[in-house]
Amino acid sequence: MVERASALEGTTLHQLLSNDDSQLLDAIDELRSLGIGRLLEGKGLPQIIVCGDQSSGKSSVLEALTRVRFPTKSSTCTTFPTELRLRREQQSRISCRIKAGPTVDAETAERLSEFSQSFDAPEKFADLVAGARKAMSRNSDDKPEFFDHVLEVEIMGPKLVPLTLVDLPGVIHYSNAPSGSQDIELINDLVGKYMAEPNSIILAVVSAHNDLSLQAILTRIQKVNGATDRTLGIITKPDELPPGSEKEQECIEYARSNTPKFKYGWHVVRNRSFAEQNKSLEERDALEKDFFKKSSWDPLPIRDVGRGIDSLRQKLSKMLINHISLSLPSIVDRLERDLTQSTQDLHKLGDARTTVKEMRNYLFDISDSFGEYTRDALEGRYHRKDFFGGPLEPDGLEKRLRANVRNLNDAFAIKMLQQGHKWHVVEKYDTKLVTGTTHPNIILKSEFLKRHVDVLAHRERTIELPGMSNPVLVGSLFQQQSEPWQSIASEHLEAVWNSVKTFLETLLYHLTNDRTSRLLFSHIIDPALEKRRRELKTKLEELLIPHRNHHPLSIDPKFAQTIWALREKRVARSVVEAIYDDLDFADGVPSVEEMLARISARDPPTENKYGSLETYEVMEAYYESAILTFMNNVASLAIEQCLLSGVAKMLSSATVRDMEDDELQAIAAESDETMQERARLSDRVKTLETGLGILRRFHAASRMQRAIPKPATLAGKSPLSAEARATQKPSIAAHNPSAAAKARPVESVLNTLSTDTTNKKPLFAFSNHQTLPSTEAKTVAPSGPPQRASTPATQPTAPAPNLFGSRGTSSVSNTSNAPSPGTGGLFGQATLAKPASSTNSSNSPSVFASTSPFSNLAGPSNLFGNSATSHPPSGVFGSPSANNTGGTSSTQPFGLLNSNRTTSTLFGGNTPKGT
């Protein structure tokens, strides 16, 4: 127990990886420790999910990767999701709990929440899973039950990389159990939920023993949008196929053709058979390597189909780093949007206020902003994007008060011109004239004169001679024709009033929290609006009085011209009708005298006995003049003067100053909920700011590491002597970049700090309001063509650090002939077969593991145990070692080949030459 605890302690953080990949994973670890993953709602930080059909070998694959013994008995299957969460903490511990599913009742959820255990050895993990299954079970027998509860296992240590590995229940094709259909639906929902999460890297496990094209998990992945871009297919149990058989060749061809098309292709692994269950994981790895060397899979190029657990670790390394890098822009964007929104919400709450003075000052601030925003809205200045936003946003128009009022005025004018008259009089029923009109009362002019004007003239006769018009009739006829004005204008004023009300409600909600905005509106704004509403109605009645109760009056000098034009139009129409109706053009065009004689001989109209035609023409001319005056008066005297004027002063500093203390406290006093919300938002803002700062530091550090020259001499130049180095004065900017430049906007630094040197594109950007202290040191490139840096021949190169651990080498191609030790990893790869004799050799710690406390005499330790050369394993779970040889190792971030060197990657394992 003491030995395990010692191994868990590991080394300090400064001994961890110093490359970009390690810094990236460190940044993700810090984000997760802050709870950023929770804030992102599972849409940012990475996880690897292992899914497949039932008994496809999912748990065995996960066991080979993690070096943690999963329950893999033939009678046992995965019946609930198991999340293995790796976290970096100074104190090493392993704990677990059950997260109740969403479908259980409160009592069951509380009972499951009480399940909590801790352990420190991998052999106890299977018992832990069995205990969790028993706690979830509703039955006393051993029949498998499926649950949507999640077993959350957290493994914490000082050298772990933030990562979540998820073992999911296998997809069921058919079940004859009583709850079979429910189980199938439950599993499909669980698997689908994890697959749909954009942060999930999918390992689709299929068994070679079954027809690959018929395995349900492949169909499910293709149905999830974007899932194939995050998927690696894994074929298990290749040893169960007869060597050289047609089925084996079909399986090989299926993987090589990448069907279905997964972005990361296919990989094949050999798990332990039933007879090999008691063999160690190291023995399992050796059996796997021996199998592939002798199988039909061996000639297959690694670039087409990967094989073996070591190669899988390397591939997962590339996938993980690539996935995290691609996720960074969305993470930053989400953090910035959340920070902006949280800051605005916190600003709405204002500072803590317990005294009357603090409350009054709080309302003073709100009233000042209220006046500024309202004046901007009334004058059409929409530059404050925090409130007005963009013009095409869903609520953009209602915030643009002036634009909204003008649009309503335009609609009012159109409706008045189209439907403001009681009768729509036409000369004759012409389809072209009446098509498209929405007026309900379309009538012929002759019918209108007979049925309305003549009847009215007969009742209103005075001393006028026959055929003369009665001036009094003009007013009576106009009043009837303008009857719709009141209803149309009332509807328009109500619409404008509602738009003002909506604007003020929206503005108050923007300036303060929900409770205060509601109280301010109900105590101050709403009473003032209701008063203006009454004033609008009064003003409308006033504007209608001249058109209802008084004789028509016009001082427009063009009014007489309008009447004359109407009469000229009527005369011209009658002349044209007479010419075409009475004259015969067969013998040529008649003379002017003949046409005048014919027109004069026509019978006079009998329908104009009361001068109705002249009365109608005068009324029509007056209507056209009066309707324009009325519309302008409604817009200016009613809306502008009675409603909009002074709206910005509804909530002013004078209003706040005149408030009684009781009213002030009722509006501005804080509730317990407000204080709790302020504390929550304050914590959230700090967390988001810290998270963004972490990402800034990551980019700054990664760029600085690329900018600082490696500790090697330039080709063609001898290294400096100790005396020469002692006389050199280092650049202050190089050793202390922050002293050479102060904080400046982030976008000005992104070109140098946030650019991928491969594709010259920014990884992501920050908002303008954020600042970043400069950490860039200027380096002066040597003159002449670029030279390759050379490493001293006596300096052996240690294997590159990796996530899952790499194997060491038994010999190194250098003058010292000293073997190179393997690197420690989370998943316990073996190291040297004998101790390193060179004093220059070094243990390279992995992301998850640290070097052994036995210095260079032992291999690097890791969480699950890496054996030393001649000492007991210093890992927690004590995996024995295995021999491995190779050439000189080189550190590459993604394990790319470099000449004859062997490359170890983040997830460990050496890549053979030619792969």
Alpha-helix residue ranges (DSSP H) falling in 164-280: 180-196, 216-223, 246-256
Residue 37 pLDDT > 60: yes
Residue 839 pLDDT > 70: no
Q: Which residues pair with 443 in a beta bridge?
A: 425
List C-alpha distances in Å: 878 to 123, 287, 493, 801: 11, 20, 83, 20
pLDDT tens-digit readout, 597-621: 766 666 666 555 557 788 888 888 8
Alpha-helix residue ranges (DSSP H) falling in 43-124: 58-66, 106-113
Question: Thinking of the domain 363-555+610-664, which architecture would CATH place it in?
Answer: Up-down Bundle (1.20)
pLDDT tens-digit readout, 251-264: 888 888 887 888 88
Q: How open is the CA angle 699-905-229, to the nearest 5 degrees?
A: 75
pLDDT tens-digit readout, 503-519: 999 999 999 888 889 99
What band does 435 get if pLDDT is binned at 50, 70 and 90? low
344 or 859, higher pLDDT? 344
Residue 489 to residue 637: CA distance in whole angstroms: 13
Q: What is the pLDDT of residue 454?
A: 78
Amino acid letter, 104: V
Q: What is the pLDDT of residue 143?
A: 57
From the number of C-beta atoms within 10 Å of its C-beta (0-12, 13-18, 19+), residue 119 rates as middle
Sheet with 266-268: strands ordered across: 116-118, 93-99, 150-157, 82-88, 163-167, 47-52, 200-207, 231-236, 266-268, 305-307
* Residue 791 DSSP one-character state: -
pLDDT tens-digit readout, 849-886: 343 333 343 344 443 344 444 444 443 333 444 444 44
Residue 823 to residue 900: CA distance in whole angstroms: 20
- Single out the residue of 864, 874, 882 nearest to residue 828, CA to CA: 864
Among 262-276, 384-398, 731-745, the range scoring the smallest mean pLDDT is 731-745
Q: How open is the CA angle 649-652-656, to the nearest 5 degrees?
A: 145
Q: What is the pLDDT of residue 877?
A: 38
Name the pTM for this structure.
Answer: 0.49
Q: What is the pLDDT of residue 11?
A: 29
Residue 431 to residue 38: CA distance in whole angstroms: 67
What band does 768 get if pLDDT is binned at 50, 70 and 90? very low
Q: What is the pLDDT of residue 115?
A: 83
Residue 230 pLDDT > 80: yes
Helix, strand counts (H, E) of the chain = 32, 17
**In the 3-class helix/strand/coil scheme, how is 481-506 assigned residue by residue?**
HCCCHHHHHHHHHHHHHHHHHHHHHH
The most confident of 186-190, 361-365, 674-678, 704-708, by mean pLDDT? 361-365
171 or 622, higher pLDDT? 622
Residue 480 pLDDT > 70: yes
Bridge-based pairing of strands 93-99 and 150-157 is antiparallel
CA torsion angle 337 342 343 346 (round to 10): 170
List C-alpha distances in Å: 170 to 57, 479, 762: 9, 82, 40
133 or 42, higher pLDDT? 133
What band does 366 get if pLDDT is binned at 50, 70 and 90? very high
Q: Which residues pair with 307 in a beta bridge?
A: 268
Structure tokens at 159: 């050298």
The mean predicted confidence, pLDDT, of the chain is: 72
- Report percent pLDDT > 90 for the chain: 18
Residue 446 to residue 250: CA distance in whole angstroms: 92
Domain coordinates in residue numbering, the chain: 35-307, 363-555+610-664
Structure tokens at 463: 């001393």
Residue 745 pLDDT > 90: no
Q: What is the pLDDT of residue 142?
A: 54
Instruction: Return the CATH class of domain 35-307.
Output: alpha beta
Residue 531 pLDDT > 90: yes
- Single out the residue of 628, 620, 618 nearest to residue 485, CA to CA: 628
pLDDT tens-digit readout, 898-911: 444 444 443 444 44
Q: Which residues contact 310 (CB under 8 A, 6 or more apart)?
A: 285, 807, 829, 908, 909, 910
pLDDT tens-digit readout, 176-200: 555 567 778 788 888 888 888 888 8
Q: What is the mean pLDDT of residues 623-648?
A: 94
The most confident of 132-146, 688-702, 818-832, 853-867, by mean pLDDT? 688-702
Q: Are 867 and 281 in contact (CB under 8 A)?
A: no
Residue 79 pLDDT > 90: no
Q: What is the mean pLDDT of residues 545-554?
A: 86
Q: What is the mean pLDDT of residues 124-147?
A: 71
